[in-house]
């Protein structure tokens, strides 16, 4: 019998009691001993390391992993098929390194042993996650787990390389299995090999699977609770992209031919998740939803859910910059619940776009395109890359100013990164161009190339200045003031997310809320800090975080006061919705605070700036011990304290209602 701990296995065999002789067992099958095995599949999303070697991990994450959801569904389908027979008890566990502590020794004690087998699957591993995934994979393998690693880095780097990349070969030398390609058609065989201990070192899956009838991503409520908004789901409605951008890995991993899921299955899953789990917002992870062959059927299905079944699900998606010209597309998206569109603008310099093979749109159409989306009350989120051949610090500043003039609602900036699997990386490797050897820095916010138009460090500085400028208070204030009432809180929520990431100097796509830094979970080669030194520094960090958070909340209050749309929060139906969320015990407070606040004119509102200015003066009087002045100020201080409490309560109610609390429970 296989066991990761032979001595423990033999111990159990020595002390087992056989109450029935073999002859009795043969005569009466009822007494046959059933040697059932427990087979555990650990689906793991790795994180990355920060510049100090600590794992990037948060108390609450932002974006759940669609890859984990897809593999969760595929694994359950294999289990339910009965492939492993009645004597194998399968189970699947989702682990996300960005929000979970992964203790390999503890997991080995739980999932390995007598009649226990397990496989650790590192899924969807991106290039910047590969160093962390590699270290964890080696530890899992040494602990006795069957171990597999797949994802964009493995698939992309091998696809365009003349030989096995050295970092991939190193994993294979440790006995770790690499999986290249999409696994829908091969997953049951991979799990069977893992169960029976016959995993090969390398699986090269060349055929792109037909996903029209493949299981859809499956929500795991326990996993979702680790994220700020646990009622958010992800679905890849399709895969692939028909364009030829040289910096992109999608086309060399998923292909240029669009492959799509069945529209009716997508709509049915969205309705099911809404009614059972309250999932009311989706991110369609397609690289280009507008080129999905079934976009019309999907949107019509969502329109039917909203207008006939009152299943009011919203979503954001990514499309190309020509999608707005598709007849009826924008109107359908708006009716179906689309709130935000991610546009890969990348650059406002047509020559830059041509150099990178992105010739599918003209910069001159930009203003008209954005206006078309805005007319449908859909926010525009631009993806913008810094580091193209014609970029300089001055052009970057000018481009950021131009993005503001175009009234882009939100922008994600990226530093040009030669990702393995892209045509850029393959070309640079052939030409011998210097590229940063540390894959951990391939996260779009580190300098991985030497650009002729930027001095050392200047590229990174331009990138950070772009974030600071676009996420500044004045820029967000202008965006919220011009936003439609139905999109106000959506943009407000995204501002919170992006502003928080900017303060932490992390990219929003890999950020979360409240950073955790376990002392011993550090990159190989960097010694853990001493106990007292580490936690002394953590206390300092926590104090700084609390101070920053307090200032951030004050900034949010002032932003809300200067941009709030009082007409949208006054109707009785709005207050009734708050009552349902807060419960009867809070109804009186809601009415006393919110109703009275909404009745006040803007001129009579207390602003955050006025309150802060008064408390600053009050603090000066306290420090200088001006007792007479303090005595005189008592009534006014109490008045300002009352205003402070009322402002805090009012903002808290709106904050909880719009951003945190779930929708009331749905019924079938």
Using 50, 70 and 90 to split pLDDT, how confident is the model at 660? low
pLDDT for the residue numbered 487? 84
The full set of domain ranges for the chain reads 37-204, 567-660
| CA–CA gap between residue 63 and residue 232 (Å, rounded) | 8
Pick from 292, 283, 261, 297: nearest CA to 341: 283
pLDDT for the residue numbered 267? 97
For residue range 445-489, list pLDDT tens digits in order: 999 999 999 999 999 999 999 999 999 999 999 999 998 888 888
The answer to whether residues 63 and 509 touch, using CB atoms and an 8 Å cutoff, is yes
pLDDT at 14 over 50: no
Question: Residue 57 gets which letter from DSSP?
Answer: E
DSSP per position, 164-229: --HHHHHHHHTT-EEEES--TTTHHHHHHHHHTT---SEEE--SPP--TTSPPP---HHHHTTBSS
Is the model more confident about 570 or about 434? 434
pLDDT at 26 over 60: no
Using 50, 70 and 90 to split pLDDT, how confident is the model at 626? confident
For residue range 29-63, list pLDDT tens digits in order: 544 445 689 999 999 999 999 999 999 999 999 99
DSSP three-state, residue 322: coil
Half-sphere exposure of 52 (CA within 13 A, CB side): 10
Is the model more confident about 293 or about 590? 293
The answer to whether residues 280 and 663 touch, using CB atoms and an 8 Å cutoff, is yes
Q: For 167-179, what is the mean pLDDT?
A: 97
For residue range 532-568, list pLDDT tens digits in order: 998 898 899 889 888 888 888 888 888 888 887 655 5
CATH 3.40.50.280 fits 37-204, yes or no: yes
Find the distance separating the first CA and the last CA of the chain, reported in whole Å.
Answer: 49
């Amino acid at each position: 019998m296989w066991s990761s701990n032979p001595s423990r296995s033999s111990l159990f065999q020595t002390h087992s009691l056989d109450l029935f002789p073999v002859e009795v067992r043969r005569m009466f099958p009822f007494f046959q001993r059933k040697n059932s095995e427990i087979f555990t599949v650990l689906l793991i999303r790795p994180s990355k390391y920060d510049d100090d070697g600590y794992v990037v991990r948060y108390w609450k994450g932002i974006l759940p992993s669609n890859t984990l959801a897809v593999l969760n569904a595929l694994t359950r389908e294999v289990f339910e098929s009965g492939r492993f027979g009645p004597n194998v008890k399968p189970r699947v566990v989702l682990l996300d390194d960005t929000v979970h502590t992964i203790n390999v020794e503890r997991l080995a004690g739980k999932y390995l042993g007598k009649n226990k087998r397990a496989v650790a699957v590192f899924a969807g591993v991106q290039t910047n996650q590969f160093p962390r995934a590699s270290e964890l994979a080696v530890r899992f393998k040494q602990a006795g787990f069957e171990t597999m690693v797949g994802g964009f880095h493995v698939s992309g780097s091998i696809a365009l390389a003349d030989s096995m990349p050295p970092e991939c070969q190193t994993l294979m030398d440790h006995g770790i299995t690499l999986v290249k390609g999409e696994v829908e058609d091969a997953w049951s065989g991979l799990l069977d090999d893992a169960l029976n201990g016959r995993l090969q070192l390398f699986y090269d899956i060349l055929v792109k699977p037909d996903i029209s009838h493949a299981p859809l991503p499956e929500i795991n409520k326990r996993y979702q609770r680790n994220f700020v908004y646990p009622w958010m789901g992800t679905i890849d409605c399709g895969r692939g992209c028909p364009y030829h951008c040289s910096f992109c890995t999608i086309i060399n991993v998923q292909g240029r031919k669009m492959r799509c899921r069945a529209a009716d299955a997508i709509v049915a899953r969205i309705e099911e998740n809404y009614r059972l789990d309250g999932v009311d917002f989706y991110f369609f992870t397609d690289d280009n939803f507008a080129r999905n062959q079934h976009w019309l059927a999907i949107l019509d299905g969502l329109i039917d859910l909203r207008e006939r079944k009152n299943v009011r699900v919203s979503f954001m998606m990514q499309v190309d910059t020509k999608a707005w010209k598709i007849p009826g597309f924008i109107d359908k998206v708006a009716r179906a619940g689309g709130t935000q569109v991610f546009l890969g603008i990348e650059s406002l310099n047509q020559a830059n776009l041509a150099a990178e093979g992105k010739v599918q749109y003209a910069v001159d159409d930009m203003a008209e395109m954005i206006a078309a989306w805005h007319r449908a009350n859909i926010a525009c989120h631009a993806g913008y890359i810094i580091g193209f051949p014609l970029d300089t610090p001055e052009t970057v500043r000018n481009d950021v100013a131009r993005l503001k003039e175009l009234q882009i609602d939100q922008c994600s900036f990226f530093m040009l990164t030669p990702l393995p699997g892209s045509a850029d990386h393959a070309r640079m490797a052939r030409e011998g161009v210097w590229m940063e050897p540390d894959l951990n820095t391939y996260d779009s916010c580190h300098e991985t190339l030497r650009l002729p138009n930027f001095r050392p460090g200047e590229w990174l500085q331009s990138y950070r200045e772009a974030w600071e400028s676009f996420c500044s208070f004045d820029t967000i204030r202008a965006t919220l003031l011009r936003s439609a009432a139905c999109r106000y809180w959506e943009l407000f929520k995204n501002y919170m997310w992006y502003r928080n990431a900017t303060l932490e100097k992390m990219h929003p796509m890999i950020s979360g809320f409240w950073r955790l830094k376990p002392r011993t979970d550090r990159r190989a080669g960097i010694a853990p800090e001493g106990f007292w030194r580490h936690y002394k520094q953590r206390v300092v960090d926590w104090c700084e975080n609390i101070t920053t958070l307090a200032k951030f909340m004050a900034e949010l209050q002032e932003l809300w006061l200067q941009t709030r749309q009082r007409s949208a929060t006054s109707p009785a139906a709005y207050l009734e919705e708050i009552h349902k969320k807060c419960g009867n015990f809070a109804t009186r407070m809601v009415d006393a605070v919110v109703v009275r606040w909404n009745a006040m004119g803007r001129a009579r509102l207390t602003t955050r700036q006025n309150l802060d200015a008064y408390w600053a003066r009050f603090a000066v009087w306290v420090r200088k011990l001006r007792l007479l002045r303090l005595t005189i100020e008592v009534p006014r201080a109490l008045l300002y304290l009352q205003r402070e409490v009322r402002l805090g309560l009012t903002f808290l109610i709106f904050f909880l209602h719009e951003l945190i609390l779930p929708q009331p429970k749905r019924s079938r």
